[in-house]
Amino acid sequence: MYRYDEFDHQLVNERVAQFSGQVARRLSGELTEDEFKPLRLMNGVYLQLHAYMLRIAVPYGTLSSKQMRMLAHIGRKYDRGYGHFTTRQNLQFNWPALKDVPDILKDLASVEMHCIQTSGNCIRNVTSDQYAGAAKSEIEDPRIVSEIIRQWSTFHPEFSFLPRKFKIAVTGTPDDRAAIRVHDIGIQIVQDDKQNIGYEIYVGGGLGRTPMIGKKIADFVPKEDLLAYLEAIMRVYNMYGRRDNIYKARIKILVHEIGVEEMKRQVEAEFAEVRKAGTLHLPEEEVARIEAYFQAPAYESLPDESTELNKAVLADRDFANWVKSNVAQHRVPGYAIVNISLKPIGGTPGDCSSDQMDAVADIAEKYSFDELRVTHEQNLTLAHVRKKDLHAVYEALKKHDLATANINLITDQIACPGLDYCALANARSIPLAQEISRRFADIERQHEIGELKINTSGCINACGHHHVGHIGILGVDKKGVEYYQVTLGGAADEKTAIGDIVGRAFTEDEIVDAIETIVTTYIGKRNEGERFIDTYRRIGVEPFKESLYETH
């Protein structure tokens, strides 16, 4: 894992001191709310429905056990004993008092954490693949590039007042778990035929009220030129992005309006300029220094098969189900990747209590080299677990209600905080996800249904990624009453697609039955072993429309 150097420490400590002064001046009345609001938003402090909300950055989703324990401590001391992992791989606390925020930031800084780049019109915290360093088909650990981008983008004076927020995601494998095509910039690490590593660049993806899939503008940016290329994109955006209209200010609108070829031409021209200046040429020794932080942990040499695992799978059906859905292949023999579901039946997607945080920190320390990952699907990952320890890990997780065997299944839903917490929301998301979870609680049935992603957002801003859910649900407000619009066929992986609206919206009382109807229709139409998304791509929206609306 990356460790702060003296500059990082200084940067964060100075920011804590600066913001502590700003909070004190706000509380004493020296600063008005209008003066203070942009300052608090540069430090992850939002005002939501019931209280302030503090968003803490988890750069590229990687955390140490020590950091997770600090989050648990903050949850207990300053909040209500729980936090919420988000689709940006961050953690949000729902109830901090403004007067406590300086102390929280000091506690965070003591474990190399902060709230920088979690809000405002800057380059936000970079997100990445939760399987980084462990995925079988990985070309290079995407956290190296993510860390380089973090260092370049943090407090970059030219990019502190962009037309709008800006999100970058990186993946190092051809199968995309980081949803790179729905980010402002998506970076796919690739290799040429001479084994040189470079970057395929997608630009102009995004969700929100105008969902767009990112367009590829470069097939192979050489490693040493990555920052120069990114800087070129940022300059084009900074120059031409629509500052006059917040709804048209994201780079996706610019790319859509000028077209991908023109965007490419502009970026290439700017890139040539940046390169000529030479200052952003990545020095090899600096790359090597950062790479060293992401060296593989000290794996043991193990046989790939584990007799302990095989025996436990045969003896314990619940464990077998968990292995089937929550455990993924690791690139090193004898190791596995463990996904910890934060979607217990009837629970709030992404919520985690302080006690659970402490428990996963202990488990990570004991079984996974002291390190954890947060996923954009609001779960946690232990990246390197010995196969022979899987049963022990499962048992330890089970004690804390963290062993739900539902990763990628129908109850592994993404949901934004919605109207229960969020000041922007029009409708609730969490109770809906909970109802769906309870309806499909039977784990055997979930496995029978197979991979199916339901994503729910409580407003058009789409924090719940509804556009790219296999089934997407968007909450809307009609004269003070919540309605839910359904989309089908969305996906956020390497075959990214925006879902199709199926028809008129459903009431709160109708929506869970509508989901059941969609599932039943799929089961009736699917070929042997065919996933929901593949069936949908084969048969389209019509059969679902028919079954949904002829019975309602």
Partner 1 sequence: MAQHTRKGAQFQALTANRLSDGIVVYLTADDRWSESLQEAEVAEGKEAAEALLARAEPSVADNTVVEPYLFEVAKEADGIRAASVRETIRQAGPTVRLDLGKQAELPGVHS
Residues engaged in binding partner 1 (CB under 8 A): 26-29, 33, 47-52, 80-82, 95, 97-99, 348, 419-421, 427-428, 430-431, 434, 480-482
Q: Which is nearer to partner 1, 80 or 256 (CB)?
A: 80
Q: Give SS3 for 152.
A: helix
Which amino acid, residue 532? Answer: F
CB 287 within 8 A of CB 223: yes
Burial class (CB in 10 A: 0-12, 13-18, 19+), 114: buried
Q: Which is nearer to partner 1, 430 or 471 (CB)?
A: 430
Tell me the closest approach of the beta carbon of residue 79 to partner 1, in angstroms: 11
Cα angle for residues 101, 102, 105 (degrees, 5° grid): 85
DSSP state of 223: G
DSSP state of 418: G
How many alpha carbons lie under 13 Å from residue 281 in its C-beta half-sphere? 9
Distance separating alpha carbons of residues 130 and 381, to the nearest angstrom:
7
Q: Which is nearer to partner 1, 80 or 447 (CB)?
A: 80
Tell me the closest approach of the beta carbon of residue 170 to partner 1, in angstroms: 33
Tell me the closest approach of the beta carbon of residue 26 to partner 1, in angstroms: 7
Distance separating alpha carbons of residues 474 and 461, to the nearest angstrom:
10
Cα angle for residues 191, 192, 195 (degrees, 5° grid): 70
Q: Which is nearer to partner 1, 50 or 399 (CB)?
A: 50
Tell me the closest approach of the beta carbon of residue 27 to partner 1, in angstroms: 6
CB 383 within 8 A of CB 129: no
DSSP state of 334: T
CB 427 within 8 A of CB 473: no
Nearest to 81 by CA among 73, 90, 89, 69: 73
Q: Which is nearer to partner 1, 396 or 427 (CB)?
A: 427
Q: Which is nearer to partner 1, 148 or 459 (CB)?
A: 459
Tell me the closest approach of the beta carbon of residue 408 to partner 1, in angstroms: 24
Tell me the closest approach of the beta carbon of residue 490 to partner 1, in angstroms: 25
Q: Which is nearer to partner 1, 481 or 501 (CB)?
A: 481
Tell me the closest approach of the beta carbon of residue 425 to partner 1, in angstroms: 8
Tell me the closest approach of the beta carbon of residue 398 to partner 1, in angstroms: 21
CB 252 within 8 A of CB 164: no
Q: Which is nearer to partner 1, 36 or 237 (CB)?
A: 36
Q: Which long-range contacts (CB under 8 A, 24 or more apart) does 173-177 make?
A: 173/129, 173/131, 173/135, 173/136, 173/137, 173/138, 173/139, 174/137, 174/494, 175/137, 175/493, 175/494, 176/129, 176/492, 176/493, 176/494, 176/496, 177/129, 177/130, 177/131, 177/375, 177/376, 177/493
Q: Which is nearer to partner 1, 48 or 238 (CB)?
A: 48
Residue 199, beta-bridge partner list? 189, 221
Tell me the closest approach of the beta carbon of residue 53 to partner 1, in angstroms: 8
Tell me the closest approach of the beta carbon of residue 75 to partner 1, in angstroms: 12
Backbone angles phi, psi at 206, to 5 degrees: 170, 165
Nearest to 107 by CA among 80, 72, 58: 72
Backbone angles phi, psi at 86, to 5 degrees: -110, 175
Q: Which helix (H) or strand (E) holds 49?
A: none
Distance separating alpha carbons of residues 127 and 133, to the nearest angstrom:
14
Q: Which is nearer to partner 1, 61 or 347 (CB)?
A: 347
Q: Which is nearer to partner 1, 95 or 319 (CB)?
A: 95
Q: Which is nearer to partner 1, 80 or 248 (CB)?
A: 80
Q: Which is nearer to partner 1, 188 or 437 (CB)?
A: 437
Tell me the closest approach of the beta carbon of residue 33 to partner 1, in angstroms: 5
Beta strands in 378-495 (DSSP E): 380-386, 414-415, 454-457, 471-478, 481-488
Tell me the closest approach of the beta carbon of residue 95 to partner 1, in angstroms: 8
Tell me the closest approach of the beta carbon of residue 377 to partner 1, in angstroms: 19
Q: Which is nearer to partner 1, 330 or 428 (CB)?
A: 428
Nearest to 280 by CA among 358, 220, 222, 210: 222
Tell me the closest approach of the beta carbon of residue 482 to partner 1, in angstroms: 6
How many angstroms from the chain centroid is the CA of residue 47?
22
